[in-house]
Structure 1
Amino acid sequence: MSRITLIDPASATGQTSEQLAQINGAFGMVPNMFKAAANSPAALASLWGAFGALGGGRLGAKLGEQIAVAIADRNDCNYCLAAHTGLGRKAGATAQEMAEAQAGRSTDPRTAAALAFAVGVVDKRAGIETADVDALRSAGFDDEEIVEIVAHIALNLFTNYLNVALDVPVDFPGVKLTRAAA
């Protein structure tokens, strides 16, 4: 049971109502995470805006979702692991690719570099080395994409913390946490 009220989209007003309607249009439902964030119009606007901005970024949806599951597993976030595994499959990832990403791995060298970087940033609380950024460059990422990876990390840390701290009920098909990357 959630530690806070999950806002019913039918009772929301103003900008919150408009954003929840957009979210419903995108997902075919309003996921509980957004209902929790809707307690703060500013938090909801930030969250939905970040999803929209990064969704149109250069990394692509598949890599964004792979980063999300790697971070979710590191942070024991059942909600994000379930949601992003499903979204990753919709973005073209196989079940195996998502399971590997959850563990911070990939057979694709470019994806593997992005996941290693993301896990390293989370594990080291951003205290990474120049060599970590150089590894991304060696895998073919430019500065725009590197900053975008950091933005994905930040967004996923926010959603992980929101869901774990406030015990938001999972409303996506469950996926087992592995902590394999630990």
Structure 2
Amino acid sequence: MSTLPQIDPATATGAAAEALTDVRKALGSVPNMAKAMANSPALLKGWLALSGALNGGVLPAAVRQRLSIATAEYNRCEYCLSAHTYLAAHVSKVDAQEIELARDAESADPHTAALLALSDAIARGRGVVDDAALKEARAAGVTDAEIAEVVGNLALNILTNYFNILADVDNDWPVAVVPNEHA
């Protein structure tokens, strides 16, 4: 049971109604996370704006989905892991093996693997990354723009992971099970 109410787009008013309408326009539907975020229209608008901006960046959707999967796995966010597993497979057309590898911040593609490893290092180091990790990423062809967007995507994913965990948002995606935290 969600710890924050889900604002119904049909009965929402004011800024919440506007933000939920923007979500429907951008995504074609309003997921439960957005309904819960609508308790703070500022948060919902901020999430949508950052997400939209990064969608127009240099990282392709299939890579962004894998970054999202890796971060959700690390943070043990079932909602986000479920959403991004679904979106990776059905929208970005990432194959099942790559989705499974992404859960461990890995990829068979060297460039994508370097992006995932960098994101994982940033998350685990809480922003502190040694020179070797950056050199490895650059050696794999990762650009400065990609490094910057990895940080942006990580921030976006941590936002949604923490929000969904805290709010215990009802999962409206096919469930992807997160590992037992004691395993």
TM-score by length of 1: 0.93
The answer to whether residue 66 in structure 2 is matched with residue 66 in structure 1 is: yes
Code of the aligned partner of 1:5: P
5+ residue gaps, structure 2: none
C-alpha distance in 1, partners of 2:134/2:42?
A: 32
Q: Kindly indicate whether the alpha-carbon contact (under 8 Å) linking 2:19 and 2:38 is maintained by their aligned counterparts in 1.
A: no
Greater Cα shift, 118-127 or 44-53? 118-127
Number of residue equivalences? 181
Match of 1:38 in 2: 38
Code of the aligned partner of 2:75: N
TM superposition shift of 1:179 = 7.3
Change (3 A) 1:174 1:39: same
TM superposition shift of 1:19 = 2.8
Greater Cα shift, 120-129 or 66-75? 120-129
The answer to whether residue 86 in structure 2 is matched with residue 86 in structure 1 is: yes
**Percent sequence identity over matched residues?**
43
The one-character-per-residue Cα deviations of 1:37-73 (angstroms, maximum 9, x if unpaired) are 1111110111000110111111011100000000000
C-alpha distance in 2, partners of 1:49/1:23?
A: 10
The answer to whether residue 141 in structure 2 is matched with residue 140 in structure 1 is: yes
TM superposition shift of 1:138 = 1.1
Code of the aligned partner of 1:59: L
C-alpha distance in 2, partners of 1:52/1:43?
A: 14
The one-character-per-residue Cα deviations of 1:96-153 (angstroms, maximum 9, x if unpaired) are 1111101111110011111111111111111211221222211111111110010000
Code of the aligned partner of 1:142: T
Match of 1:109 in 2: 110
Code of the aligned partner of 2:64: G
Match of 2:16 in 1: 16
The one-character-per-residue Cα deviations of 1:74-100 (angstroms, maximum 9, x if unpaired) are 001000000011111211211211111
Match of 1:48 in 2: 48
Q: Kindly indicate whether the alpha-carbon contact (under 8 Å) linking 1:74 and 1:179 is maintained by their aligned counterparts in 2.
A: no
Code of the aligned partner of 1:6: Q
TM-score by length of 2: 0.93
Q: SS of the counterpart of 1:9?
A: coil
Q: Kindly indicate whether the alpha-carbon contact (under 8 Å) linking 1:67 and 1:101 is maintained by their aligned counterparts in 2.
A: yes
RMSD: 1.7
Match of 2:160 in 1: 159
Code of the aligned partner of 1:10: A
C-alpha distance in 2, partners of 1:15/1:166?
A: 20
TM superposition shift of 1:16 = 2.9
Match of 1:121 in 2: 122
